[in-house]
Structure 1
Amino acid sequence: MAKINLQPLFDNVLVKPLQAEEMLPSGIVLPDSAKEKPQTGLIMAVGPGSTDDKGNPVKMVVKVGQKVMYKKWGGNEVKVNGEEWMLVEQKDILAIVE
Structure 2
Amino acid sequence: MELRFNNTSVDQILATFDLWVEEQPRTIEGHHSIDESGVDIHVVIHTQWLSYADDLYIHIECNGDDAVVWLHSSSRFGISDLGVNPDRILDLRTSLISVQHAGTPCS
TM bucket, shorter chain: under 0.3
* Greater helix proportion: 2
TM-score w.r.t. the length of structure 2 is 0.23
TM-score w.r.t. the length of structure 1 is 0.24
Rg larger for: 1
